[in-house]
A and B are shown apart, each in its own frame.
Chain A
Amino acid sequence: MTIAEQGRPAQGRSAASSGKRPSRLFRNPMSKIASIPMIFTAVVIFLGGTVWTVIYSFTSSGLLPRLNWVGLAQYDRLWTSRKWIVSIENLGIYGICSLIGTLLIAFTLAALLDRKIRGEDTFRTIFLYPFALSFIVTGLVWQWILNPELGLQHIVRGLGWTTFNFDPLNNPSIVMYGLLIAGLWQGTGLIMCIMLAGLRGIDEDIWKAARVDGIGTVKTYIRIIIPMMRPVFVTSLVLIGAGIVKLYDLVVAQTSGGPGISSEVPAKYVMTAMFGGQNLGQGFAASTMMLVTVVIILIPWAYLEFGGKKRG
């Protein structure tokens, strides 16, 4: 940790200096003028849109947003809905696995690509291409690959291992892992790119010094490089986290929430309520709960990130 703080004071140092900066920079109006689009977007669109959503979650809005107050009725119904409870549990399982899996795979791949290998461009593009393709159809391809009669099970059994069983999408207890296979496939490429950009920014001398000190490669990554990449990891975490919370297309394309309701997720609950059930109020209540959860996680983070600086 001490290395990270001294060697790469990215966050820490700009934080320390920002303590001195405000008095100087506060005078500069250009920064504020340049930030007008951001302030407008944050306040009018995101804050305004959120407040609008929360307000309408207390109404019985159906197809159209209308102010017929019903108090907490939408929330009562939400929390007595089995589908919502299942959705949250599923998101928990998927979220933890996806977060760990994406970080692990993306960082490993980025580190491997950073080892001065041949064909880096090819590998990088292969890892990144799933990000470019519409999930409506790539979801279908995964459906095929995971289908026992068409895909992997068929192939493996064809090779002679006739007792091989692999049917994740039709088994309620493992269907979320089936989705995870495709989710990791689609999402890790971009995170890998961000990690690679981070690794490329790390000083060669760090490696030299580590070697002088006799620190092994893996240990260097874990002890020195990763702590130095804190901003990159923060970016990645937000991206992965936002992807998890918004998880929807993947589920629709592969299982439509099935078998039964065993792969339902909150964002799909919201969309089905709003556009299928024509019950905007219910959808808004569900999305408000999602938002509250995000706020509960993000506000302490923001406090640490920004509040900590004043000490610096």
Chain B
Amino acid sequence: MKLTTKLLAATAIVGAGAAHATDLEVMHWWTSGGEANAVSKLAEAWDATGNKWIDGAIAGGGDTARPIMVSRIIGGDPPAAFQFNHGRQAEELIQAGLLMDLTDVAEANHWKDIVNPPSLLDACTVDGKVYCAPINIHSWQWMWLSDAAYAKAGVPVPTNWEEFAATAPALQAAGITPLAMGGQSWQQNGAFGVMALALAGQDAWLKVNKDKDATVVMGPEYTKVFEAFGAAREFSAGLNVQDWNQATAAVIDGTAGAQIMGDWAQGEFAMAGKVAGTDYECLPGLGDAAILDTGGDAFYFPVNSDPAITAAQKELAALLLSPAVQVSFNSAKGSLPIRGDVDLTTVNECTQKGLDLLAAGKVVPAGTELLSPDTVTQLNDLMTEFWSTPTMTPAEVQKQYADIIASAT
């Protein structure tokens, strides 16, 4: 009942007069167990307003779902709402005037005041107008370590990258692969981004990713990162896996020491019944610089000619940011809420660390908000080539990295 009251309140604020029930088709790529559960929270909340959620789930991630969503928009028969990562992915759709301006919803619901960190709302804002509703935060900057693996090697669990690198030989001597890394390019490039932010520092990282300053890539801070990345390549030798969760599984069963992967990896530990602090450890920012990026998902709403649907779209946008939905959705998905004034129901040690960093404002925008998908793809290709080509030196990859940044827009 309480939930419904809140929802009604949210609806009232929008004041769009959505008196009659409206069916809204929502497209997204959340299909795995935990994700589907999280979506059902959204659907329940929406259905509770007397409207109807038509679920359009397309698995396979953004690369599979995005062309389908874009086709629907080009074809003139768009879904009422769709999921994108917030950032630069939707840029062109906004410029082409295909997405609805949500500024009135944002103002009526004071998104400026409640969305934390504010960069999330900035990522949705183009020319002063708000075009998307951010719904959760995922951060890349985590290293997950296996207590069992380090116990077996007889060394203490590292608390930063330098210790990790120093203890790696002990793990190798014990037959453990120090660093688990999946074979897909986004994992290698993602890990590099984490190492760059942690080891080169926030200023250098922002100069490269935000200002596209290629001279910083060639500078001393980044040289250190490339060398560390070269060492990481050695640490990962011997474990051949593809998917990120196969790499996580190696950390879970102790055949690998650690993995650099976003906070979504924690779901795998939870599924395996592992407890943070006893079975596994987490180091935000590799323990060197505890700063998180704030990537995540957002919903966009294509322009619609039917006023009833338009009103319902705005109603849904408001609902997605309401406290009740933020809590139920993010608890189910294992992500962090986009507003600082709500409490998640169950929070473990690692999630708490993340929340504390958010509250302290130790955040940077996500790489996907700063770099275009095209640049990210080029970097993915480069880093994965480096990772699987032992003869390629850190100096070579550094030069090519600088070239890509120099040509980035």
The interface of chain A, by Cβ under 8 A from chain B, is: 62-64, 66, 81-83, 143, 148, 167, 170, 172, 255-262, 271-279, 282
A259 and B183 in contact, given A143-B242, A272-B377 (Cβ under 8 angstroms):
yes
Measured CA separation A255–B240 after assembly (Å): 11
Is the CB of B234 closer than 8 A to any CB of chain A? Answer: no
A276 and B377 contact, CB distance less than 8 A = yes
A259 and B373 contact, CB distance less than 8 A = no
Residues of the B chain whose Cβ atoms lie less than 8 Å from the Cβ of A276: 63, 373, 377
A63 and B384 contact, CB distance less than 8 A = no
A256 and B374 contact, CB distance less than 8 A = no
- Name the residue of chain B whose CB is nearest to the CB of A62: B92
Shortest beta-carbon distance from A140 to chain B in Å: 10
Would you give 21 A-B contacts (Cβ < 8 Å), ordered by A? A62-B372, A63-B91, A63-B92, A64-B74, A66-B92, A66-B96, A83-B381, A170-B240, A255-B242, A256-B242, A258-B185, A260-B384, A274-B67, A275-B64, A275-B66, A276-B63, A277-B373, A277-B378, A278-B89, A278-B373, A279-B374
A261 and B384 contact, CB distance less than 8 A = yes
Measured CA separation A259–B184 after assembly (Å): 8
B70 and A273 contact, CB distance less than 8 A = no
Say what secondary structure dominates the interface of chain A: loop
- Name the residue of chain A whose CB is nearest to the CB of B384: A260
- Name the residue of chain B whose CB is nearest to the CB of A271: B63
A260 and B385 contact, CB distance less than 8 A = yes
A82 and B242 contact, CB distance less than 8 A = no
A256 and B183 contact, CB distance less than 8 A = yes
Is the CB of B215 closer than 8 A to any CB of chain A? Answer: no
Residues of the A chain whose Cβ atoms lie less than 8 Å from the Cβ of B374: 62, 273, 277-279, 282
* Given contact pairs A172-B389, A275-B67, a sample of 18 additional A-B residue pairs in the complex whose CB atoms are under 8 Å apart: A64-B96, A143-B242, A255-B242, A256-B184, A258-B184, A259-B183, A259-B240, A260-B389, A261-B385, A262-B388, A272-B63, A273-B377, A278-B66, A278-B89, A278-B92, A278-B374, A279-B374, A282-B374
Shortest beta-carbon distance from A8 to chain B in Å: 47
Residues of the A chain whose Cβ atoms lie less than 8 Å from the Cβ of B66: 63, 275, 278
Number of residues from B at the complex interface, CB < 8 A:
30
Residues of the B chain whose Cβ atoms lie less than 8 Å from the Cβ of A261: 185, 381, 384-385, 388
- Name the residue of chain B whose CB is nearest to the CB of A269: B381
Residues of the A chain whose Cβ atoms lie less than 8 Å from the Cβ of B90: 63
Measured CA separation A282–B372 after assembly (Å): 14
B384 and A277 contact, CB distance less than 8 A = no
Residues of the A chain whose Cβ atoms lie less than 8 Å from the Cβ of B242: 143, 255-256, 258
Residues of the B chain whose Cβ atoms lie less than 8 Å from the Cβ of A282: 374
- Name the residue of chain B whose CB is nearest to the CB of A262: B388
Residues of the B chain whose Cβ atoms lie less than 8 Å from the Cβ of A273: 374, 377
Measured CA separation A46–B91 after assembly (Å): 31
A259 and B388 contact, CB distance less than 8 A = yes
- Name the residue of chain A whose CB is nearest to the CB of B61: A276
B92 and A64 contact, CB distance less than 8 A = yes
Measured CA separation A66–B93 after assembly (Å): 11
Q: Beta-carbon contacts of B362-393 to A below 8 Å, as 1s and 0s?
A: 00000000001110111001001111110000
Measured CA separation A154–B35 after assembly (Å): 35
Measured CA separation A225–B373 after assembly (Å): 54
Measured CA separation A164–B385 after assembly (Å): 28
B183 and A63 contact, CB distance less than 8 A = no
Residues 335-385 (chain B) with a chain A CB within 8 angstroms: 372-374, 376-378, 381, 384-385
Q: Beta-carbon contacts of B79-116 to A below 8 Å, as 1s and 0s?
A: 00000000001111100100000000000000000000
- Name the residue of chain B whose CB is nearest to the CB of A277: B377
Residues of the B chain whose Cβ atoms lie less than 8 Å from the Cβ of A279: 373-374, 377
Residues of the A chain whose Cβ atoms lie less than 8 Å from the Cβ of B91: 62-63
